[in-house]
Amino acid sequence: MAKQAPTPKSLSLQLIRTITLALIVTLILGGVLIYWHAVQRIEAEMRAAIVVGSRIAHNALDDVDEISATRRRLELTVADFDDDRHLRASLRDPDNVVIRQSILQPPSAAVPEWLYELLAGKPKVVRLELPDAFHKFGTVVLETDSHNEVAEVWSDAKLYLLILTAFCGVVLLILWVALGRALRPLNDLTGAFAEIGAGRYDRRVDIGGPRELVELGSGFNAMSERLSEMEHRNRRLREQLETVQEEERAELARALHDEMSPLLLSVDVDATALRQQEETSRDPDVEKRAAAILDAVLKMKRNVKGILGQLRPSGLHALGLANSIENLVAFWKKRHPDIAFSVNVPPRSFGVRMDAAIQNIVREGIANAIRHASPRGIDISIDIESGNLLSVEIIDDGIGLAPTLTSGYGIIGMQERAALLGGTLEVIDRKDEHGVRVKAILPLDGAEYLSDSKSMEAGTSV
Task: Based on the fold, state whether residues 49 and 124 are members of the same structural domain.
Answer: yes
Residue 393 lies in a domain: yes
- Do 25 and 105 share a structural domain? yes
191 located within any domain: no
- Contact status, residue 192 vs residue 205, Cβ threshold 8 Å: yes
Say yes or no: 323 and 447 in one domain.
yes
Residue 341 contacts residue 398 (beta carbons within 8 Å): no
Residues 50 and 108 placed together within one structural domain of the fold? yes
- Ramachandran region of residue 199, left (φ > 0), alpha (ψ -120 to 50) or beta? left
pLDDT score of 456: 40
Examine the domain organization and report whether 393 and 338 are in the same domain: yes
CATH number at residue 416: 3.30.565.10
Residue 448 is predicted with a pLDDT of: 46
C-alpha separations of 401 from 21, 368, 379, 436, 437 in Å: 53, 10, 16, 6, 9
Same domain, 137 and 17: yes
CA distances from residue 249 to 76, 87, 181, 258, 311 in whole angstroms, order as listed: 129, 114, 59, 14, 5
Q: Is residue 420 part of a domain?
A: yes
Task: Kindly state whether residue 288 falls inside one of the protein's structural domains.
Answer: yes
296 & 325 share domain: no
21 with 99, same domain: the answer is: yes
> CB count, 10 Å around CB of 358?
26
* Residue 275 counted as domain residue: yes
The reply to whether 184 falls in a domain is no
Does any domain span residue 187? no
How many angstroms separate the first and last alpha carbons of the chain?
67
Q: At what angle do helices 321-335 and 352-372 cross, to 10 degrees?
A: 20
Run means of pLDDT, 10 residues per run, the chain, 462 residues: 56 79 85 85 87 83 62 81 86 83 83 80 83 75 86 82 85 82 76 81 76 81 87 80 73 67 68 67 65 73 65 56 86 88 88 83 88 88 86 89 62 82 86 86 62 39 29
Residue 260: the pLDDT is 67
Domain count, the chain: 3
CATH code for the domain of 92: 3.30.450
**274 lies in the same domain as 340:** no
Neighbours of 368 (CB within 10 A): 22
What pLDDT is attached to residue 438?
Answer: 92
Q: What are the φ and ψ backbone dihedral angles of 99, each rounded to 5 degrees?
A: -95, -45
CA distances (Å), origin 289, targets 198, 271, 275, 284, 295: 64, 8, 9, 9, 10
Same domain, 300 and 322: no
Cβ 110 vs Cβ 150: under 8 Å: no
The answer on 161 and 98 residing in a single domain is yes
166 with 243, same domain: the answer is: no
Domain boundary among 110, 141, 171: 171
Order of all β-strands in the sheet with 139-144: 98-101, 87-92, 139-144, 125-127
**Within a domain: residue 101?**
yes
Segments forming the whole domain that contains residue 397 = 315-461
Whole-angstrom distance, CA of residue 222 vs CA of residue 204? 9
Distance between CA atoms of residues 102 and 145, nearest Å: 12
